[in-house]
Amino acid sequence: MLHAAYGIIQIANSLMMRALRAVSTERGRDPRDFTLLAFGGAGPIHAAALAETMEISTLLVPVFPGLFSALGLLLADYRHDYIRTIVTPLKSVKLAQILSCYRDLEEAALREMQGEGVAAETVTFERYVDLKYSYQLQELTLPFPATAERTDLADVLGRLFITAHDRAFGYHADDPIELVSLRLRALAGAGRAGFAELSRAATRSFAVAHRNSNSRQVYFGRDYGLLDTPIRSRANIIGLLPGPMIVEEPDTTVVVPPGWSIGSDKYANLIMTRL
C-alpha cells in the first residue's frame, strides 16, 4: 500500500516537472540559479522532490500558501496590456514612428484607467518589443531599452535580440531581424493591504492558535522507508531545523524530507534548504 501511494506521488511529480522545465530550461534558464516558490494546497507536499530533480537548493513557502493565488488576485495592482502590430524590418524602423505609437498607446491606457477610477499620476508604463528573425514563426518579447531613444534604434534592438536569442536557443545568426509588435504595460497600485501586512497578522494568529504536535510515521520512499517524523506548525519553526518534518497548516501540508532543513524569515515565510 505504501509503495503504491508513493508511486502515485512520483507520477504526479513527473507531470509537474513538465511545467517547471517549460519556464526554466526550455527558456534557457538554469533552475539552479532560482528559488522555487511552493504554493497551492498541494504545492508544498511535492516541492522538495521537484527541487531535488531540478537541482534547486532553496524553497520558499509563503503564508497562506493554499490561498496564495486568490490573495494575489485580491491584492494585485491594476494592469492593462496593449499591443500595436507593425511588422517592419528592423533596419527600416524609424525612432519617431515608434515613439509616436507608444504615446498613442499611453494616451489610450490613461483614458481607460481613469475611467476605472485610477488617478493618472499613479499610472506607470513599461514598454516592450516583439522581435524575430524574418523566417521565424514566433517572436521574443523584450524590454524596450531606455537608451534606444539616444542611440541608433536598430543597432540597440538588434544587439538586445541577439543576446536574448543566444540565451533562449543557444545560437544566433546574421539574418534579417523583424520588429513585429510594440507592447505597452500600464500599471497602478491598488492601494490595499499587501502580503507584508498579511504575514504579520499570520505570525500572530499562528503563535496563538497552534502548538507542537507529537510525531507520526511517514514514508519517504525506498531509500528512507518509514521514519518517525516530528509534526509542527509554522509558529513552531524557530531557528534552522533539520528534516524529516511535517509542517501542518490550515490550508496545506509542508513536507520536509531527509536531507533538507527548514527555517522562517521575518515575514513568516518558510525557507527550506537542501543540505
| Cα atoms in the 13 Å half-sphere on the side-chain side of 143 | 5
Q: What angle do CA 155, 152, 172 make, to 5 degrees?
A: 5
Query: Which of 55-64, 83-92, 143-152, 197-206 comes out lowest in average pLDDT?
Result: 197-206
Q: What CA–CA distance (Å, rounded) separates 224 from 160?
A: 49
| Residue 260 in this model has a pLDDT that exceeds 90 | yes
**Quick one: 213 and 266 in the same domain?**
yes
| Higher-pLDDT residue of 205, 250 | 250
| Same domain for 201 and 114 | no
pLDDT for position 207: 53
Please check whether residues 100 and 164 belong to one and the same domain.
yes
CATH code for the domain of 106: 3.30.1490
Asked whether residue 77 carries a pLDDT value surpassing 90, the answer given is no
What is the radius of gyration, based on Cα positions, of the chain? Answer: 24
Q: What's the whole-number mean pLDDT along residues 240-257?
A: 94
Using CA atoms, how far apart are residues 237 and 239, in angstroms rounded to an integer?
A: 7
Q: How confident is the model at residue 30 (pLDDT cuts 50, 70, 90)?
A: very high
Out of 6-10, 79-83, 115-119, the most confident range is 79-83
Q: Round to whole Å and give the CA distance between 133 and 180.
A: 10
Secondary structure (3-state) at 121: helix
Q: Which residue, 269, 247, 270, is CA-closest to 257?
A: 247
82 is in which domain, residue-wise?
77-188
Which helix (H) or strand (E) covers residue 177, if one does? strand 177-188
**Residue 244: is the preceding peptide bond cis (ω within 30°)?**
yes
Q: What pLDDT, in 10s, does the model give residues 86-107?
A: 999 999 999 999 999 999 999 9
One domain for residues 148 and 165: yes
Does 75 or 104 have the greater pLDDT score?
104
Per the structure, the count of domains in the chain is 2
DSSP-derived secondary structure for 11-58: HHHHHHHHHHHHTTGGGT--GGGSPEE--SSSHHHHHHHHHHHHT--E
At residue 132, the 3 state secondary structure works out as strand
**Has residue 47 got a pLDDT over 90?**
yes
Q: In this structure, are 13 and 35 located in the same domain? A: yes
Mean pLDDT, residues 129-139 taken together: 95
pTM value is: 0.66
Distance between CA atoms of residues 75 and 93, nearest Å: 39
User: According to the model, what pLDDT value does residue 193 have?
Assistant: 64
Q: Indicate whether 92 and 64 sit together in one domain.
A: no
**Do residues 170 and 268 share a domain?**
no
**What's the pLDDT score for residue 76?**
82
Domain boundary among 188, 219, 246: 188
Q: How confident is the model at residue 186 (pLDDT cuts 50, 70, 90)?
A: very high
Residue that terminates a domain, selected from 140, 156, 188: 188
> Each residue of 189-248: pLDDT tens digit?
876 666 667 666 665 555 544 555 689 999 998 889 999 999 998 888 989 999 999 999
Q: Are residues 85 and 126 in the same domain?
A: yes
pLDDT at 46: 95
